[in-house]
Copies of this chain bind each other. A is one copy, B any other.
Amino acid sequence: MILVMTTIKVFEKIKLKDAILVEGLPGVGNIGRVAVGYLVEELKAKKFAELYSEWFFPFVMLQDNYQVKLLKNEFYYCKAKGKGQRDMVFLVGDCQSLTPQGHYDVVEKILDFAETIGVKEILTIGGLATGEAEAKNKVIGAVTDKKLMDRYKEYKIDFKAGEKVGYIVGAAGLLLGLWKERDKDGLCLLGQTAGFPIVTDPKAAEEVLDIVTKILKLKLDMKKLEKKVKEMEDFIKKVEALQKRALMDISKAPAGQNPPSGGEELRYIG
């Protein structure tokens, strides 16, 4: 018997050239999730693989009110079209791993898969909760190697992340840390968000998206972002509920018997 903790289901076998993977999983301010979700929509990127894992919450989401759906991460791709563009892979999803150990396992599986499809560079997007009321729109960056800082120096990224933060937590950090161990290149962009971490911040997402589109040589109409965020509202609410739920420490209660949460969207069930 083989232990398979994390499964990647591939719908379409693809082989990309010098591709860049852009990660936007739920996290602080859902900045990555919103930014990369917008890219996927605007570019009409195509879903080609899904990942699910024993390390995720033991839940199913309800889609369109009636349909059960495992918590998943999803891979989309979009081939280079315009001048200076590269093949692109987008990684979005419902959640990150529930346990520290799971983060390592899921991230290693993602990197194994990324290598097989031709990903050469990784760009992760996250948020930095400043805890201060006044917004700071400077995007903060960190890299796997000094040469990356030179490569991206033209984009007004503040490469003094270490002065403000000690660590980059979860997928946004580990994808780069473990990618670097494979002698590969990567960049992390962090939008600064004032509020509480689990409140989605489309403004901070726009700041990051502005730089990401320049890096990817994309011409996107940013004006639709706010509208798109509204359309994503139902999904965002569920992700926020999932994050709140996580803070309540699901691991303490058996499935199906979690104490009531008060909030409508969190009324448990099972």
- What does DSSP make chain A's interface, helix, strand, loop or mixed? mixed
Q: Which one, A37-45, A76-84, A140-148, A224-232, is touching chain B? A: A140-148
Q: Bin the interface of chain A by size.
A: 35 or more
B257→A246 contact, CB < 8 A: yes
Return the contact of A267 from the options B165, B181, B186 (Cβ within 8 A): B165
State whether A168 touches B257 (Cβ < 8 A). no
| Residue pair B169, A270 in contact (C-beta under 8 Å) | yes
Instruction: Report Cα–Cα, A186/B66, bound state, in Å.
Output: 12
Closest-by-CB residue of B relative to A173 is B60
Nearest chain-B residue to A165 (Cβ)?
A: B269
Are B54 and A104 closer than 8 Å at their CB atoms? yes
Known: A61-B167, A197-B260, A260-B197. A176 touches B68 (CB 8 A): yes
Q: Choose, from A13-21, A125-133, A205-213, the stretch at the interface.
A: A125-133
A161 B66 Cβ-Cβ under 8 A: yes
Q: In the complex, are the beta carbons of B270 and A27 less than 8 A apart? A: yes
Q: Return the contact of A65 from the options B25, B159, B180, B237 (Cβ within 8 A).
A: B159
CB distance from A61 to the nearest CB of B (A): 6
Please, which residues of chain B bring their CB within 8 A of the CB of A177? 60, 68-70
Binding stretch for chain B, among A85-93, A94-102, A113-121, A215-223: A94-102
| Chain B residues, Cβ within 8 Å of A53 | 104
Which of B163, B188, B258 is close to A68, meaning CB atoms less than 8 Å apart? B188
Q: Which residues of B contact A245 (CB under 8 A)?
A: 167
